Amino acid sequence: MPKKLTTILVPVISVILGLLVGAIVMLVSGYDPVEGYLALWEGIFGDVYTLGGTVRQITPYVLAGLAVAFAFRTGLFNIGVEGQLIMGWLAAAYVGYAFDLPAIIHLPLAILAAAVAGALWAFIPGLLKAKLQVHEVIVTIMMNYIALHVSNAIIKSLTDGGEKTPAIHESASLRSAFLDNLTEYSRMHYGFVIALIMVVIMWFILERTKRGFELKAVGFNQNASEYAGMNVNKNIILAMVISGAFAGLAGAMEALGTFGNVSVIGGFTGIGFDGIAVALLGANAPLGVLLGATLFGSLKFGALNMPNVGIPVEIVSIIIALVIFFVASGYIIRVFLERMSKKKEAK
């Protein structure tokens, strides 16, 4: 079987299989799968409102996915995207409401603040990994909890015990009246432009720059990189920092786009963890991450419409998880296809 055909067939078959099993789940639980999937479809592509919502949902997934993928490509497991995202969210929201500046300065400043906050939060595990060989998985996981509670504490101290910051100024907002009118207040915002730019930037860093060459080399083989005169420690730290900056930007999407502030939260947003799945779905390539995030975000957002036809959220969660499960296990299908074509060849 030609390789190209396989690469297209595998995800398509995966999605279909996932939907089929999901349909069985709905049937067994006494719901109409056709109605359910129609609602899912409507919830994604139904009209401008749902389309806008879908794009909004995809946006932070793209950035979180890029953060995880960038680290993966440089040989690091950044499980701390969640924490870096929270810090980015906080930083962007703070800059958004605490300063009064013209939009042309304010918005970029708030976005930059988020990237820097995420980067700083990732710098710590990077430093520990480089200098003391502490495994970044452990540190980043713990940094998630620290971020969650530090953020909550900062919000409280900023607002005298309140549970959320004031709303950001208009000048720092990614929202626009134009998009609100166009998509009937779907909360879609200009963050998707940033996400798309970052897809290109990640590709550029990795595939075109000297630094990207080094980062990848260090990720694959530290010994050979050192032999070739690269500064291994510096590259490890830098890889984490860049990854964290992407994560911070995902936080900026929430602060400056979707929510317009930051609240005390009891648990993780989950976006950072979903970013791991997105990165894996996209095979850690920038364009792949964009596609992975699109699938993930669309399903998640479209699923919100399924309770509108009476399917409980629990069942919906199972169905969405099934689809993603099947896509992620595309490997199995690939092997199966190869077996099939081999048998044919043999005959």
Partner 1 sequence: MTKRKFGLALSVVLAAGTLLGACGSKDDSSKGDKESKEKNFSIAMVTDLGGIDDKSFNQSAWEGIQKFGKDNALEKGNGGYEYLASKSSSDYNVNLNSLVRRDFNLIFGVGYLMEDSIKEVASQKPKTNFSIIDGKVDAPNVASILFKEQEGAFLAGVAAASVTKSNKIGFVGGIDIPVINRFHAGFVEGVKAVNPDIKVDAVYTGAFDKAELGKTTANRMYTSGVDVIFHAAGATGNGVFTEAKERKTKDANANVWVIGVDADQYKEGQVNDKTNVTLTSVMKRVDIAVQDVAKKAKEDKFPGGEILTYGLSDNGMALADSHGAITDDVMKKIDDYAKQIADGKIKVPEKVEK
Partner 2 sequence: MEYVIEMLDIRKQFGNFVANDNITLQLRKGEVHALLGENGAGKSTLMNVLFGLYQPEAGEIRVNGKKVKISDPNVANDLGIGMVHQHFMLVENFTVTENIILGSEPTKMGIVNIKDAAKKVQVLSEKYGLNVDPYAKIEDISVGMQQRAEILKTLYRGADILIFDEPTASLTPQEITELMQIMKRLIAEGKSIIIITHKLKEIMEVSDRVTIIRKGQGIGTVTTAETNPSQLAELMVGRQVEFKTEKTEANPKEVIFQIDNLVVTDYRNIEKVKGLNLSIRSGEIVGIAGIDGNGQSELIEAITGLRKVKSGTVKLNGQDITSLKPREITESGVGHIPQDRHKHGLVLDFPIGHNIALQTYYKAPISKGGVIDYSKISELAQKIIKEYDVRSGHGESTPARALSGGNQQKAIIGREVDRNPDLLIAALPTRGLDVGAIEFIHQRLIEQRDKGKAVLLISFELDEVMNVSDRIAVIYDGQIIDTVKPNETTEQELGLLMAGQDRQSNNGQVKEGDE
Interaction site with partner 1 (CB under 8 A):
29-31, 35, 49, 53, 57, 149, 152, 156, 161, 163-164, 167, 180, 185-187, 254, 258-261, 263-267, 269-270, 301, 304-305, 307-310, 312-315, 317
Interaction between residue 208 and partner 2 (CB under 8 A): yes
Separation CA 66–CA 346 (nearest Å): 42
Separation CA 39–CA 28 (nearest Å): 18
Number of shown-chain residues binding partner 2 (CB under 8 A): 19
Give the range of 180-188, 217-225, 233-241, 258-266 binding partner 2 by CB under 8 A. Answer: 217-225
- Residue 72 vs 301, nearer CB to partner 2: 72
Query: Contacting partner 2 (CB under 8 A), which of 227, 314, 343, 344?
Result: 227
- Residue 133 vs 178, nearer CB to partner 2: 133
Q: What are phi and psi of 164, to 5 degrees?
A: -155, 155
Interaction between residue 325 and partner 2 (CB under 8 A): no
Q: Give the footprint of partner 2 on residues 60-89 (CB under 8 A).
A: none
One-letter identity of residue 57 = Q
Tokens of 105: 């300065």
Q: Least distance from C-beta 215 to partner 2, angstroms?
A: 12
Best CA proximity match to 175, nearest among 109, 117, 255: 255
Task: Give yes or no for a contact between 233 and 131, defined as CB atoms under 8 angstroms apart.
Answer: yes
- The C-alpha R_g of the chain, in whole angstroms, comes to 21
Task: Give yes or no for a contact between 107 and 256, defined as CB atoms under 8 angstroms apart.
Answer: yes
- Residue 171 vs 231, nearer CB to partner 2: 231
Q: Least distance from C-beta 184 to partner 1, angstroms?
A: 8
Task: Give yes or no for a contact between 242 and 70, defined as CB atoms under 8 angstroms apart.
Answer: yes
Query: Contacting partner 2 (CB under 8 A), which of 125, 216, 241, 294?
Result: 216
Which of the choices partner 1, partner 2, none does residue 29 contact, using the CB cut-off of 5 to 8 A by kind?
Answer: partner 1
Sign of CA dihedral 232, 238, 239, 240: positive
Task: Give yes or no for a contact between 53 and 188, defined as CB atoms under 8 angstroms apart.
Answer: yes
In a 3-state reduction of DSSP, which class is residue 263? strand
- Residue 135 vs 149, nearer CB to partner 1: 149
Which of the choices partner 2, partner 1, none does residue 301 contact, using the CB cut-off of 5 to 8 A by kind?
Answer: partner 1
In a 3-state reduction of DSSP, which class is residue 29? coil
Q: Least distance from C-beta 201 to partner 1, angstroms?
A: 25
Task: Give yes or no for a contact between 260 and 164, defined as CB atoms under 8 angstroms apart.
Answer: no
- Residue 2 vs 161, nearer CB to partner 1: 161
List residues binding partner 2 (CB under 8 A): 208-214, 216-217, 220-221, 223-230
